[in-house]
Amino acid sequence: MKYLVTGGDGFIGRALVRRLLEDGHGVVIVDNHITSEPGQRHSRLDRVVQNIESFDTTFIQGRLDGIIHLASVAIPTLYMERPRTVIDPNVWGTQRMCDLAKEKKCRLLFTSSSEVYGHTTSEKCARMGISELDRSLTSLLTPRTPYSSAKRMGEELVSSFRRDGGDGAALRLFNVYGPGMDWSTSGYGRVIPNFMDALSGGRDLPIYGDGEQTRCFLWIDDAVEVICRLLHYPEELPQAINIGHPDELTVNKLAKMVLLEWGSDVGMEHLDTLPDEPRHRRPDTTLLRALTGWEPIVDLAEGLRRIHANLDG
């Protein structure tokens, strides 16, 4: 089979493309390399260096079996300064991928984000996790909103594509991590890269606010596994699907786990609370489990051990 992976040279894209090639498929990568660089080479891999919103789709000749639309800047310090780096690929790029999927009669998986839920604060969400049917609570026109707004608009475009008979779904990812992340780009909203960057410089781990906000972290290979299962799912997919690890922990506890794993004697530095930061963000993955039977394999402690070993190696 042949698949198009936009943003295929990025963090998730590299791991996904590697898996597709290992499974014997052909892959076309489209990536503008704003925050990535070309990596793997393979006889079944073609690469186009271009913005996805202006991608010349006539390059895709013949059959196409699916599109995984990952292309988007995900570094807050960059998209807060240059909002078009998320607006263009997630809005205009998504419409272009919908048109191509319609032409090729293939499945389109749009990688959305838990950011679409905003700072949801209901007791139900805190207790049971956020489900695909929960409401979003979001401020307007803040430095944080270009990303979440662009992802929501991308979901609307995929929804419209579905109403016109297309085969598509939005995958709402919750904090995917692993080796290959850009540890050097730290700042607002990137907790594990922030910690890795601080450790490399012998600095205290930066924690925004009191550190009692909770998050969940999904190992990259677990994320790729479920994306592949959904890509090959034989029936119609739901409109939106949460993808994440259901185990949550506080940022303070994460920091202590990192310090223990690295054997570091640096401390923790508490900084000002980030605006509109959600207190809890844990996915309800009931729908995903019902569809695929998928459960994550790698817990956070094991993931941190693997990152540590990878950095030392």
- What is d(CA 190, CA 188) in angstroms, rounded to the nearest whole number? 6
Q: Residue 161 is which amino acid?
A: F
- Could you tell me the CA-to-CA distances from 13 to 67, 137, 160, 266, 283 in Å, in that order? 12, 29, 25, 33, 22
Tally Cβ neighbours within 10 Å of residue 259. Answer: 18
Query: What are the backbone dihedrals phi and psi of residue 8, each rounded to the nearest 5 degrees, phi first?
Result: -70, -10
Instruction: Give me the residue label for tokens 């070309």.
Output: 38
Catalytic residue IDs? 147
Nearest to 55 by CA among 96, 14, 3: 96
- Could you tell me the CA-to-CA distances from 107 to 47, 102, 103, 163 in Å, in that order? 20, 9, 11, 14
Tally Cβ neighbours within 10 Å of residue 35. Answer: 19
Q: Copy the structure tokens of residue 25.
A: 């498929």
Query: What are the backbone dihedrals phi and psi of residue 304, each rounded to the nearest 5 degrees, phi first?
Result: -65, -40
- What is d(CA 7, CA 205) in angstroms, rounded to the nearest whole number? 30
| Pair 155, 240: CB distance under 8 Å | yes
- What is d(CA 87, CA 149) in angstroms, rounded to the nearest whole number? 8
Torsion angle of alpha carbons 244, 245, 249, 253, nearest 10°?
-100
